[in-house]
Amino acid sequence: PDDGPVADTVVAEVARATEQFGGHLVTAPVTVDDALACDVVLAIVGSAGEVGTASATMPPPPGHPPRTDPYLRAVQAVVEDLLALGSSVLNPGMFGLGRHRGRTVVVAADAAGLLYGLHALVRRGEAAFSGPDDFVWDLPVNEIRMLDHWDNTVVHPVMGQVERGYAGGSIFWTDGRVRDDLSRVAQYARLLGSVGINAVGLNNVNVHAAEARLLTDHLDGVARLADAFRPHGIRVFLSVSFAAPLSGGLETADPLDPDVQRWWADAAAGVYETIPDFGGFVVKADSEGQPGPFAYGRDHADGANLLARALAPFGGTVFWRAFVYDHHQDWRDRSTDRARAAYDHFTPLDGRFDDNVVLQVKYGPMDFQAREPVSPVIAAMPQTRLAVELQVTQEYTGQQQHAVYLGTQWAEILRFPLAEDGRAVGWIAAGLSEDHEAERRAAGLVAVSNVGDDEFWTGHPLAQANLYAFARLAWGEEDPVAVLDEWIGLTFQDPSVAPAVHAVLDDSWHTYEKYTAPLGVGFMVRPGHHYGPDVDGYEYTAWGTYHLADRDGIGVDRTRATGTGFTGQYPPPWRDVYESVETCPDELLLFFHHVPWTHVLHSGSTVIQHVYDTHADGYDEVVQMMQSWATADGRVPKAFFDRVTERLTEQERSAREWRDQLRSAFHRRSGIPDATGRTIY
């Protein structure tokens, strides 16, 4: 009972499948006999409601016969049967899927749910069409499942077209405008819709001059992108500059100025006139040079609410990023700690954000490092809708030259029991309370996309697994290796290749951590582009990202007792767990403590020996990854095989560089030999 664009997509997908694989598509209205003759039934049963009311609340579609139609009654009978089996309430995006009375059935609350159910059916493969009765309900845990593109409309002289992009140019933009040919965008939208992504940010959070004009001058192009995403249940968002009213002719961008408020209200109205289901704005304000409310003596609640109120009449949302810190820090000043910044800026504002503001918080207090503690902000703003931000694009994790499966890292972050009542990061982001009841302030997960116009979409073909894993974890899957297995099954024709791909990817995040970032130390990368080792690259800079290694020891003292006090931002028990060297987990030791090189870890090794060992071991693991991949030769398409092989060759070179530089650098500092006698340069 739906003739909207998403339901049309489902019909088109089934039509395409029956054409390809045989069978025959029957759409309502038909007779009972037709319905009962179907092997597969897909049906929308109406919006959220109690058992028994689902059928009664189902409106007949315009121009269709009333609901006394026998086909609808037959489907409703099956649906009511199923509702009695499993679920009393239907939520948006929810679907039920399985075998029932000898048929394969997908029922959903709405068209998006039917789309997700259809793709879940596809994921099951042939098994979905036979076997005994077995029916399950599934629904997205997170209301918001969003990908942000850091795409510029023109090629930026330093950052290129896609900031931190490692897969070529933008699939959306060329020469300052939307591409003429959007067939690739349509494929991308289909891919994302198939795994439940429901929001996409179309441009870089750093809004440069050309992109500042998107809101006003390029709406027709943005509308074409919205048209490409809409059939897959995805709404589009634009990153906007807080200073936009200035380029619009005003003398101020002060959020409390009535002219500024009017300017934003008019701008929003203009967008919705062209794109009635526009999602809203993404904003990076007062961060790394982007303009914001501080210039006018206002705070971030004033800033976010200004935009929220402009969007509210149209149902739009503001994603306001919490990535605010001083990037003009003096390295001599030990009292300023970048890790503290987001909490210090935002927690005093809890309760002041409008309901259509989502605070977008990076998972860690620094910046998408291979290893950080989770951000304490996530548990500290119960009155604020909050989304956790992840980075699918591998800025600090090998830039899609290195095979690094991030599903493992994200799963660990999402199940970390951060809140005092034990709620995990993933539960807080989803707005779930302890008894799993959804709270009003539900939001979700956002990630920076890793897709570009590269032949393999993601540069490193195996990085596609990260895109897939983000979507599946945002949906609510919890086991990253099971998700990877699903991706492998859907990606490769030859199932015998699975062990090789697992061998390369399963533990690749830990491998990368081993040869790059010991015990919670990050940022030992080349400044600017962030690829490859540079132990002191950021050590005396203004960015606030230090390891403080000297001849005696390494690490940053962030304790309350003697350091920056960052541990105090955590709820119990973590404020005490991290405060003490005794209880701080090894993998975060140097994030929270400055210790001597000879400090003995829980593992029994000393800090310096740990650095020596993990860097050597991490490199050796990369060599094993290469050997495992070699066994896939001839079992995956040649171009795919060759590209992965080429990237693994670079990963081996780079890992060797990391190994030798870090082992040598810390040997020179500490003067302590490697107990194993391996070569140090």
Residues in touch with ligand GCU (CB under 6 A): 163-164, 205-206, 284, 288, 323, 367, 395
Q: Which two tokens stand for residue 140?
A: 């997205």
Give 390 or 505: the residue with its C-beta nearer to ligand GCU.
390
Q: State how far the Cα of 232 lies from the Cα of 328, in Å rounded to an integer.
A: 43
DSSP string, 256-280: T-HHHHHHHHHHHHHHHHH-TT--E
**H/E stretch holding 471:** helix 464-475
> Of 367, 513, 621, 674, which residue is the catalytic one?
367
Give 212 or 312: the residue with its C-beta nearer to ligand GCU.
212
Cα separations (Å) of 469 from 93, 143, 385? 19, 17, 24
198: nearest Cα among 479, 474, 486:
474
Cα separations (Å) of 141 from 147, 236, 427, 436, 471? 16, 21, 9, 10, 11
Give 46 or 201: the residue with its C-beta nearer to ligand GCU.
201
Amino acid letter, 473 = L
Indicate if 273 belongs to the active site. Answer: no
Determine if residue 627 is left, alpha or beta; phi over 0 gives left, psi from -120 to 50 gives alpha, anything else beta: alpha
Give 163 or 211: the residue with its C-beta nearer to ligand GCU.
163
| Beta bridge pairs of residue 177 | 174
Q: Closest approach of Cβ 92 to ligand GCU, in Å?
A: 29
In degrees and rounded to multiples of 5, residue 582 shows phi and psi of: -65, -40
Q: Closest approach of Cβ 230 to ligand GCU, in Å?
A: 27
Give 367 or 557: the residue with its C-beta nearer to ligand GCU.
367
> Of 33, 220, 266, 288, which residue is the catalytic one?
288
Q: State how far the Cα of 506 lies from the Cα of 650, in Å rounded to an integer.
A: 19
Indicate if 367 belongs to the active site. Answer: yes
| Beta bridge pairs of residue 436 | none
Q: Closest approach of Cβ 164 to ligand GCU, in Å?
A: 5
Q: State how far the Cα of 186 lies from the Cα of 531, in Å rounded to an integer.
A: 32
Q: Closest approach of Cβ 370 to ligand GCU, in Å?
A: 14
Q: Closest approach of Cβ 369 to ligand GCU, in Å?
A: 11
Q: State how far the Cα of 131 lies from the Cα of 619, in Å rounded to an integer.
A: 47
Give 93 or 201: the residue with its C-beta nearer to ligand GCU.
201
> Of 286, 299, 395, 674, which residue is the catalytic one?
395
Give 110 or 163: the residue with its C-beta nearer to ligand GCU.
163
Q: Closest approach of Cβ 239 to ligand GCU, in Å?
A: 10
Q: Closest approach of Cβ 363 to ligand GCU, in Å?
A: 12
Strands (DSSP E) contained in 332-412 are 357-362, 386-391
Catalytic residues: 288, 367, 395
